[in-house]
Structure 1
């Protein structure tokens, strides 16, 4: 009888261990987590696929580096230039468009730089620099940070002259950056999804939006198992496939905050 119980315990443990093994690690951006998107999406995927997902939410640059080290099975990020470099290095199997939203310039309603209502993002940045109005930069090599730096460059603004004066890099994610901007009545560039989920707005509001240069595309890639044999290829690919499937795309479209859609699916079927 004891032997039967022992065998049963071993089989039960094996079953549990096997189920626990069906876990993948996704290195992604802070915006997908802090916007609440993953909290909405992942239970739907886990129920459909029987695969658990552990998310490491960092800036896009860090997420891609995690993939380069083989410490993630999938990367889900939003910096096309960096993603293309990742693919050219052979670090990913294939890149897929998943969804998009846009960036916005947030600032105090008092708007000392007088940018409210404008659609030209580079004009807005030049006005902020000219006014030496406080600006919070994530400074974390994220997709948002990379987009911000490209826009300052297009605006012809030399940031070195403003550092530690009106331009402040904090090396943190979108949520902390928004909190700091709220507490100091500063400007910043935010993805719309995290902004819509952000509660501690204080005197902040969207002041500049609608410029096509503020388009924000997200992509997903399975980390290349030929470089990193520990990658959980089958379950990682299942997550990628689900995101770009009609069910995954419908789920993304269905995620709303206050009745407003945060992300817009655009995978190619």
Structure 2
């Protein structure tokens, strides 16, 4: 992300809060605020707008979110520019843990990735296993829009291309370098396929012509972990704030809120709460 300092990260978080209309936290002092670096899907889906005020209410810690791709969020943690992470890029997370700058890494929730595209499905991928679907898109030359931002979604997309035996290149393949919401809009305008997390797509589908055209494959499981950052990453890290966030998000109130999120508007939850489970139990 290129955030030069923790001060800049705090300011960026405040701008995000203003931009998304979230009310300022009441009560906590500056010493009781923490920085959460997270994937864009938690913001674009609206989940943060529900969880963070409740976190502040229960713990007294104000949370300043920095919503970027999981890769950028993980780099912020590595540099000590965030206190806690909520991300969905397991291989990159494990690399971060191996550096010794983290505390607990716990499963929080899951949903799935979906391939979305024009209703006409020009490549004909609806009934195919996902790796075959990706190969078919490439073989047909159908337009595909990638986030191209080293996010968790982009990492999964690259894994799917590898499984399909495809090195995506050519006029049919385009990268935005942007978050999920922006990438969905670009794909919609171009009449292209893209890979999205289900939550962001459902939250934004009313403004899109795109439809889910391929889903349900085991390779599309999307797992989110919370990761504590410790002072080993930098002296400005607040381990008390990180611990408070981890304890709260895997606790009963947060897990219930996660399990209910989306049911009123979409008729189904956008995430499944998973505290106490392991990725292996989910098949990830």
Q: TM-score, normalised by structure 1?
A: 0.89
How much does 1:251 deviate? 1.4
Which segment drifts farther, 165-174 or 198-207? Answer: 198-207
Q: Distance in 2 between matches of 1:88 and 1:34?
A: 30
Correspondence 1:60-139 to 2 at 5 A: 60-116=70-126, 118-139=127-148
Q: Distance in 2 between matches of 1:53 and 1:144?
A: 24
The answer to whether the aligner puts 1:217 opposite 2:227 as a matched pair is: no
Q: How many residues align?
A: 250
Cross-structure match for 1:241: 247
Which stretches in structure 2 are left out of the alignment for 5+ residues?
A: 1-25, 278-284
CA contact (8 A) 2:181 2:200 kept: yes
Cross-structure match for 1:144: 153
Report SS of the residue matched to 2:231.
coil
Q: Distance in 1 between matches of 2:245 and 2:268?
A: 25
Which stretches in structure 1 are left out of the alignment for 5+ residues?
A: 1-15
Q: Distance in 2 between matches of 1:152 and 1:48?
A: 43
The structure with the largest alpha-carbon Rg is: 1
How much does 1:233 deviate? 1.2
Q: Distance in 1 between matches of 2:82 and 2:226?
A: 12
RMSD in angstroms over aligned alpha carbons? 1.5
Q: Deviations over 1:64-100 (max 9, x none)?
A: 1111111100011001100000000112112100000
Cross-structure match for 1:13: none
> Aligned in 2, Cα 1:245/1:120: closer, same or farther, shift over 3 Å?
same
CA contact (8 A) 1:137 1:167 kept: yes
Any runs of at least 4 consecutive aligned residues in structure 1 with deviations exceeding 2 A, and if so which?
199-203
Which segment drifts farther, 100-109 or 231-240? Answer: 231-240
Q: Distance in 2 between matches of 1:45 and 1:188?
A: 33
CA contact (8 A) 1:104 1:209 kept: yes
Report SS of the residue matched to 1:267.
coil
Report SS of the residue matched to 1:27.
strand
CA contact (8 A) 1:98 1:243 kept: yes
The answer to whether the aligner puts 1:230 opposite 2:239 as a matched pair is: no
Q: Distance in 2 between matches of 1:86 and 1:238?
A: 21
